[in-house]
């Protein structure tokens, strides 16, 4: 290898080349080197060539030719959205530097913003389309910054990883401001983590030992009073100011060959993602051990703000089964449970579960289903987000080719959310083993997809089949005009 002035650190190249001068040729070492160099994310193509040495017949000269990716780039993206009938527009400005310190370090800075015409949580009336301010009533914007390096950094550097694990350490921070007619929220986040791969790159591990974010929320007086009037303390408490300290581990198994969300393999393919998260438990233990003072509600505070305490488990399983050359059956099961603990006694709003929407039970709008068999009284005309501690969903979809780049889908969605404890303002919303299986919502119908190679446009029309908010024994909607409740969902990409 010739050592010359490069745009990359010499050690970056040598560390990722598996063979050395004088070694007996081994094809597998060349293949490993190719994968490692390409995985750095700074080369568009990598070519390893062997040429017979002109002086020695038993020797080969090796040439490694790497075509760099553009080091710095600015991308601007805008798109119109229509999620469960909520029209909107969002945009993103992203700056990337793929080789900041000549060691394949990746720096990303983005600025995101969105305007959405969203149904108000406490208003059944429609917005005046002539009034832009009232129509686009939801605003989100904020910057984010992420820095990552293609190696293990302290303390992960002490772990015994193989070279082909492709380790990467990252640190990121973000600020997000959300404004809706009912509330304003500011979320500040910082995290430090590590990722690596195993089992021939089919398994990816993401470990974030430290993630801290602070939520400051301001509810309008009308929204707060409405929640108090209907005794919805569960939703009210989920909006309180809090600090969350998270530790997360995620393992993902994926042997799919995917192109724009479509399984191109001729065999059945599986995808499994398991996520475990813990928040505030070590912190609460430290405060207990050191005898720190509590507030009147028995909570420990940091800078005058209580910190969240909970544990969560999420499992997402998907199975893709080819039926014909351009058709397939897709099955998905999702289960999530979060257990709130002493310091906050409720899952924060952003950690709670919801059902409904374009990637869930599509016959219901997002956050309008559940919990359990809860039925909002006729005397309450306001509509509020439905959130819970437990989620169970199942989806079955048959995807088939129509003509050219158009595909169709027939689907059935089943699912709901539940509370882990009985809530006075949500009768019938708690999870009980002897009745939860009777409280699944069911919906289905047809959809169409337009595959443009670089992305897929999707339109699904879904109607409810079974509604758990009806009395037990009367939840099937046959003969009750379910088609009149058809929900249109527009999305980009496949739902799963």
Among 425, 445, 465, residue at a domain's last position = 445
Distance of alpha carbon 495 from alpha carbon 273, whole angstroms: 16
Q: Are residues 278 and 321 in the same domain?
A: yes
User: Which 8-state DSSP code applies to residue 163?
Assistant: G
Closest to 429 (Cα-Cα) out of 233, 237, 279, 275: 233
Q: Are residues 277 and 392 in the same domain?
A: yes
Task: Show the CA angle centred on residue 347, arms to residues 342 and 352, nearest 5°.
Answer: 160
Looking up residue 382, the CATH number of its domain turns out to be: 2.40.160.50
- At residue 96, the pLDDT reads 92
Q: Is residue 206, in this structure, part of any structural domain at all?
A: yes
Q: Is residue 2, in this structure, part of any structural domain at all?
A: no
Q: Are residues 240 and 191 in the same domain?
A: no
Distance of alpha carbon 67 from alpha carbon 352, whole angstroms: 46
- Radius of gyration over every alpha carbon of the chain, rounded to an integer in angstroms: 26
Per DSSP, what are the bridge partners of residue 115? 89, 139
- At residue 112, the pLDDT reads 87
Q: Is residue 474, in this structure, part of any structural domain at all?
A: no
Q: Is residue 249, in this structure, part of any structural domain at all?
A: yes
- At residue 455, the pLDDT reads 76
**What is the domain range of residue 410?**
220-445
Sign of CA dihedral 227, 228, 233, 237: positive
Question: Is residue 132 very low, low, confident or very high in pLDDT (cuts 50, 70, 90)?
Answer: very low
Q: Is residue 483, in this structure, part of any structural domain at all?
A: no
| pLDDT tens, position by position, 33-76 | 888 888 888 899 999 998 998 888 888 999 988 999 888 999 88
From 29-33, 214-218, 378-382, the region with the lowest mean pLDDT: 378-382
Q: Are residues 247 and 393 in the same domain?
A: yes
Q: Are residues 232 and 112 in the same domain?
A: no
pLDDT at 240 > cutoff 90:
no
| Total count of residues recorded for the chain | 496
Q: Is residue 494, in this structure, part of any structural domain at all?
A: no
Distance of alpha carbon 64 from alpha carbon 13, whole angstroms: 10
Residue 194 · residue 154 · CB < 8 Å: no
- At residue 430, the pLDDT reads 93
| Number of separate domains in the chain | 3
| pLDDT tens, position by position, 349-384 | 889 999 998 889 999 988 889 899 998 776 665 567
Q: Are residues 224 and 181 in the same domain?
A: no
Q: Are residues 79 and 22 in the same domain?
A: no
pLDDT at 4 > cutoff 80:
no
With 0.95 as the threshold, say if the pTM is over it: no
Q: Are residues 441 and 412 in the same domain?
A: yes
| pLDDT (mean) for 284-297 | 89
Q: Is residue 172, in this structure, part of any structural domain at all?
A: yes
Q: Are residues 43 and 112 in the same domain?
A: no
């Amino acid at each position: 290898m010739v050592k010359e002035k490069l745009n990359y650190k010499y050690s970056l190249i040598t560390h990722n080349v598996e063979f050395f001068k004088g070694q007996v040729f081994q094809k597998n070492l060349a293949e490993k080197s190719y994968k490692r160099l390409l995985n750095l994310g700074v080369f568009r193509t990598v070519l390893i060539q062997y040429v017979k040495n002109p002086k020695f017949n038993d020797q080969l000269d090796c040439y490694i030719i790497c075509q760099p990716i553009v080091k710095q780039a600015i991308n601007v993206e805008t798109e119109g959205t229509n999620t469960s009938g909520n029209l909107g527009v969002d945009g993103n400005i992203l700056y990337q530097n793929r080789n900041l310190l000549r060691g394949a370090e990746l720096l990303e800075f983005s600025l995101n913003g969105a305007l959405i015409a969203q149904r108000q949580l406490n208003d059944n009336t429609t917005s005046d389309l002539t009034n832009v301010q009232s129509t686009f009533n939801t605003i989100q914007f904020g910057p984010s910054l992420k820095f990552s390096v293609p190696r293990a950094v302290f303390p992960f550097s002490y772990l015994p990883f193989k070279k082909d694990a492709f380790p990467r350490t990252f640190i990121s921070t973000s600020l997000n401001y959300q404004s809706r007619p009912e509330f304003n929220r500011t979320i500040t986040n910082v995290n430090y983590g590590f990722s690596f791969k195993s089992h021939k790159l089919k398994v990816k591990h993401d470990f974030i030992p430290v993630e801290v974010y602070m939520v400051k929320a301001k509810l309008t007086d009308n929204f707060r009073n409405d929640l108090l009037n209907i005794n919805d303390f569960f939703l009210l408490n989920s909006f309180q100011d809090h600090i969350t300290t998270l530790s997360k581990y995620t393992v993902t198994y994926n042997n799919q060959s995917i192109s724009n969300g479509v399984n191109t393999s001729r065999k059945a393919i599986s995808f499994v993602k398991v996520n475990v998260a813990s928040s505030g438990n070590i912190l609460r233990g430290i405060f207990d051990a050191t005898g720190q003072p509590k507030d009147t509600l028995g909570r420990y505070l940091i800078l005058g703000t209580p910190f969240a305490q909970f544990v969560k488990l999420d499992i997402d399983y998907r199975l893709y089964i080819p039926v014909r050359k351009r058709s397939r059956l897709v099955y998905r099961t999702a289960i999530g449970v979060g257990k709130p603990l002493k310091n906050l006694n409720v899952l924060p709003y952003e950690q709670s579960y919801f059902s409904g929407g374009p990637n869930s039970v599509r016959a219901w709008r997002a956050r309008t289903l559940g919990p359990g068999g809860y039925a909002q009284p006729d005397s309450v005309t306001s509509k509020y987000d439905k959130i819970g501690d437990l989620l169970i969903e199942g989806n079955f979809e048959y995807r088939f080719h129509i003509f050219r780049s158009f595909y169709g889908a027939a689907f059935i969605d089943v699912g709901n959310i539940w509370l882990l404890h009985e809530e006075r303002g949500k009768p019938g919303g708690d999870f009980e083993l002897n009745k939860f299986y009777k409280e699944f919502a069911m919906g289905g119908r047809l959809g169409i997809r337009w595959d443009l190679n670089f992305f897929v446009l999707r339109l699904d029309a879904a109607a409810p089949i079974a509604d758990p908010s009806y009395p037990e024994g009367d939840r099937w909607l046959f003969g009750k005009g379910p088609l009149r409740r058809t929900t249109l969902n527009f999305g980009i990409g496949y739902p799963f």
